[in-house]
């Protein structure tokens, strides 16, 4: 499998400018809106026409390339873009495929910088529900359909399992019903697609999320500096989206227990409540998401009027 992207697309892309950072994102798919939203929350503004492949950054020296997600690792390796927002699953498959094809150096030039907190899924092997699965050895001799042949083959080799891998570019989940495969290796998020196709998930090969990947910019200081500014903004934006401001009333004796329950809570503000010395108001910033389980635990130790508010901007 080639790491290179389709030549027709490459011809349509403007030549890379030395002093502008170029970010590739998925043109149309599950990651598109979240990637655009994240970049916009980092303050980037693009002149974007609907079908454009290339968008010029209006307020920072950062341009956007909108392409198929599968092309992003290849574009990074070939220096057609500097940064890519892509699923770990795609990056790992391309790195693995380039290793198999004897070009490991290409994959090495592409580095994962950080996860972005969306596009979570896992690459798993699934078999028909009626199959009585016991262990990985059951896969011996099976035919498995997948869009991730390199990752699956690597996994089978490591486990010393001899199975036939067949490549399908889409609708992998229907292969067992069509009789073209015994099982599949595909992306799973909620598991609803597997259930709808009467498949059971038997083994996870890889946990994935959308992540920021970059090519080696050590010889291009200007671009790396632009990327550093963007990474700082990304850190703030991602921290803010996880952070919550919590306000509640509680017995004065339970303030310490409350900060223990709340995830990554800062030192709280404790305020008196009119007409009582037994209960106080507690306000605190939590640096991680506050879940229903946390609220239930707070209620169990006597908290009431619990409010969880989103944080819009934060300068630490
Ligand atoms: P393209 O046309 O760009 O090649 P695609 O059909 O390969 O698109 P999408 O289905 O839009 O890709 O998925 C993009 C990415 O979203 C996946 O590579 C993966 O990282 C992530 N993702 C999250 N959950 C799922 C899921 N349940 N199924 C598939 N992908 C998922
Ligand atoms: Zn794709």
Ligand 1 atom 13 nearest Cα: 30
Residues with CB under 6 A from ligand 1: 26, 29-31, 68-70, 87, 89-90, 119, 121, 187, 189, 208
Task: Give residue 149's pLDDT.
Answer: 98
Q: Rounded to whole angstroms, what are the CA distances from 51 to 33, 48, 54, 55, 177?
A: 14, 8, 9, 10, 37
Among 265, 273, 274, 275, which residue's Cα sits nearest to residue 297? 265
Q: Atom of ligand 1 at shortest distance to CA of 193?
A: 27
Give the strand order in the sheet containing 276-286. Answer: 269-273, 276-286, 244-251, 304-310
Ligand 1 atom 12 nearest Cα: 29
SS3 of residue 51 by DSSP: coil
Q: How far apart are CA 115 and CA 119, in angstroms?
A: 10
Among 289, 279, 281, which residue's Cα sits nearest to residue 245? 289
Q: How far apart are CA 83 and CA 53, in angstroms?
A: 16
Q: How far apart are CA 191 and CA 181, in angstroms?
A: 19
Ligand 1 atom 1 nearest Cα: 68
Length of the chain: 316
Q: Atom of ligand 1 at shortest distance to CA of 147?
A: 7
- Strand (E) or helix (H) holding 201: strand 199-208
- Ligand 1 binding pocket mutation candidate from 28, 71, 147, 187 (most atoms within 8 A of CB): 187
CATH of 243-310, one of 2.60.120.620, 3.30.70.120, 3.40.50.1980, 3.30.2320.80: 3.30.70.120
Identify whether the C-beta of residue 176 lies closer than 8 Å to the C-beta of residue 182.
yes
Structure tokens of 118?
């969306």
Domain with CATH 3.40.190.10 in the chain: 9-118+210-240, 121-208
Ligand 1 atom 27 nearest Cα: 189
Structure tokens of 55?
């968008």
CA of 58 relative to ligand 2 center, distance in Å: 28
Among 127, 32, 25, which residue's Cα sits nearest to residue 82? 25
Task: Give residue 107's pLDDT.
Answer: 61
The overall pTM is greater than 0.75: yes
Computed on alpha carbons and rounded to an integer, the radius of gyration of the chain in Å comes to 24
CA of 76 relative to ligand 1 center, distance in Å: 19
Ligand 1 atom 23 nearest Cα: 119
Q: Atom of ligand 1 at shortest distance to CA of 30?
A: 11
SS3 of residue 204 by DSSP: strand
Assign domain 9-118+210-240 to its CATH superfamily.
Periplasmic binding protein-like II (3.40.190.10)
Task: Give residue 2's pLDDT.
Answer: 39
Task: Give residue 50's pLDDT.
Answer: 64
Domain with CATH 3.30.70.120 in the chain: 243-310
Among 236, 218, 217, 92, which residue's Cα sits nearest to residue 151? 92
Note down pLDDT in tens along the chain; length 316 residues: 334 555 666 777 788 888 999 999 999 999 999 999 999 999 999 987 667 899 999 999 999 999 999 999 999 999 999 999 999 999 999 999 988 887 766 666 899 999 999 999 999 999 999 999 999 999 999 999 999 999 999 999 999 999 999 999 999 999 999 999 999 999 999 999 999 999 999 999 999 999 999 999 999 999 999 999 999 999 999 988 889 999 999 999 999 999 999 988 999 999 999 999 999 999 999 988 899 999 999 999 999 999 999 998 777 6
Identify whether the C-beta of residue 240 lies closer than 8 Å to the C-beta of residue 107.
no
Task: Confirm or reject CATH 3.40.190.10 for domain 121-208, answering yes or no.
Answer: yes
- Furthest C-alpha separation in the chain: 76
């Amino acid at each position: 499998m080639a790491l290179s992207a389709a030549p027709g697309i490459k011809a349509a892309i403007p030549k890379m400018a030395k002093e502008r950072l170029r970010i590739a994102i998925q043109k149309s798919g599950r990651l598109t809106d979240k990637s655009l939203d994240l970049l916009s929350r980092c303050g980037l503004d693009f002149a974007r026409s609907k079908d454009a492949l290339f968008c010029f950054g209006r307020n920072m020296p950062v341009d956007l390339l909108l392409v198929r997600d599968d092309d992003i690792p290849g574009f990074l390796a070939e220096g057609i873009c500097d940064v890519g927002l892509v699923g770990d699953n795609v990056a790992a498959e391309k790195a693995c495929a380039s290793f198999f094809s004897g070009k490991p150096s290409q994959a090495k030039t592409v580095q994962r910088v950080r996860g972005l907190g969306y596009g979570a899924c896992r690459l798993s092997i699934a078999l028909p529900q009626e199959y009585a699965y016991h262990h990985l050895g059951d896969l011996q001799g099976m035919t498995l359909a997948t869009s991730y042949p390199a990752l699956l083959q690597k996994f089978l080799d490591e486990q010393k399992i001899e199975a036939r891998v067949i490549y399908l570019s889409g609708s992998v989940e229907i292969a067992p019903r069509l009789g073209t495969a015994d099982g599949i290796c595909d992306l799973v998020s909620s598991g609803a697609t597997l259930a709808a196709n009467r498949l059971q998930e038997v083994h996870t090969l890889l946990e994935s999320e959308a992540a920021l990947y970059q090519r080696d910019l050590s010889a291009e200081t200007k671009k790396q500096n632009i990327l550093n500014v963007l990474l700082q903004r990304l850190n703030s934006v991602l921290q803010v989206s996880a952070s919550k401001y919590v306000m509640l009333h509680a017995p004065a004796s339970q303030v310490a227990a409350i900060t223990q329950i709340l995830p990554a809570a800062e030192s709280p503000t404790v305020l008196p409540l009119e007409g009582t010395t037994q209960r106080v108001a507690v306000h605190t910033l939590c640096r991680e998401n506050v879940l229903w389980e946390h609220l239930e635990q707070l209620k169990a130790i006597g908290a009431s009027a619990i409010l969880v508010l989103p944080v819009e901007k934060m300068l630490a």
